[in-house]
Amino acid sequence: MKLPTNFMSIGIARALATSAMAALISFTLACNSTDEHTGDQPNVTVTETATGTVNTPTPPEPSSTATSAYLSEMDPLTSTQGVDTSSAEVNGRGYARSVTLTASAGGPVNEVEYNLGRHWKRFEATIGLRDDSPTGSKLTFQVSVDEKNLFSRSVSLGEDFRTDLDIDGALRLKLTVTYTGQDSNYIYGTWGDAQLAAMES
């Protein structure tokens, strides 16, 4: 039986469409396979987060047994008229770590007390009047520990004296300057580089 011409055309068109669809599917599968093997993937940024313990460096702890300490770096327990811990010049020489007490006719005695905690063996300092004190000035310097006087000396402007005192096991250290003149100007008594030395272990 002979089919009509238009019916044959429709069959051919359908066959061609089916072949084209099959070719498109084959091409798409081939492209996906190529992407998987070549790693041709979209640009993706991946951030990894560590789940373990993070060790953060910490600064070393200071030694529990210091061998020395400057009084200028310590807080006093009490002071009569305040303490100046800035650098000072005594008899032409500079001392960067000083303790200076002021005295005058209006406040002739000035003292400061420190807690030693029975950790220290010796007290060292250079004593003298700070060079900007009035001409002719004079002060008496005293050092005592636990209410016991260890040192006392009258010092005039332009003089300096080195002290090295045994304070082995003392609890309190007291420094005192006393003014005995009549001048109303302030006079500055300095303990240059006043330092504590530790007890032997």
| Domain containing residue 31 | 1-37
Q: Would residue 47 count as lying in a domain?
A: no
Q: What angle do CA 170, 83, 179 make, to 5 degrees?
A: 90
pLDDT surpasses 70 at 5: no
Same domain assignment for residues 100 and 189: yes
Q: Are 77 and 171 in the same domain?
A: yes
Domain count along the chain: 2
Q: How far is it, in rounded angstroms, from Cα 84 to Cα 191? A: 10
Question: What was the pLDDT predicted at 190?
Answer: 98
Phi, psi of 115, rounded to the nearest 5 degrees: -90, 120
- Give a yes or no: residue 56 inside a domain: no
pLDDT at residue 29, as a whole number: 42
Are 201 and 163 within 8 A, CB to CB? no
More confident residue, 41 or 104: 104
Average pLDDT over residues 29-54: 41
Residue 44 placed within a domain: no
Contact 112, 132 (CB under 8 A): no
58: in domain: no
At 92, the amino acid letter reads G
8 within a domain of the structure (yes/no): yes
The HSE-up count of residue 57 (CA atoms within 13 Å, CB side) is 2
- Percent of the chain at pLDDT above 90? 60
Report which listed range, 31-35, 154-158, 184-188, is most confident.
154-158
pLDDT at 187 over 70: yes
* Same domain as 169, residue 76: yes
Specify the CATH number for the domain of residue 166.
2.60.120.1060
CA–CA gap between residue 165 and residue 68 (Å, rounded): 14
CA 91, CA 166: separation in Å to the nearest integer?
A: 25
Residues 81 and 159 in one domain: yes
Place of tokens 């002979």: 2
Which residues fall within 8 angstroms of residue 175, CB to CB, at 6 or more apart? 99, 101, 111, 112, 113, 141, 142, 143, 191, 194
SS (H, E, C) 151-163: EEEEEECCCCEEE
Asked whether residue 85 is assigned to any structural domain, the reply reads yes
| pTM to 2 decimal places | 0.66
**83 shares a domain with 140:** yes
Question: What does the alpha-carbon distance between residue 62 and residue 133 come to, in Å, rounded to a whole number?
Answer: 39
Span 56-70, average pLDDT: 56
Write down the pLDDT at residue 37.
43
Do residues 187 and 141 both lie within one domain? yes
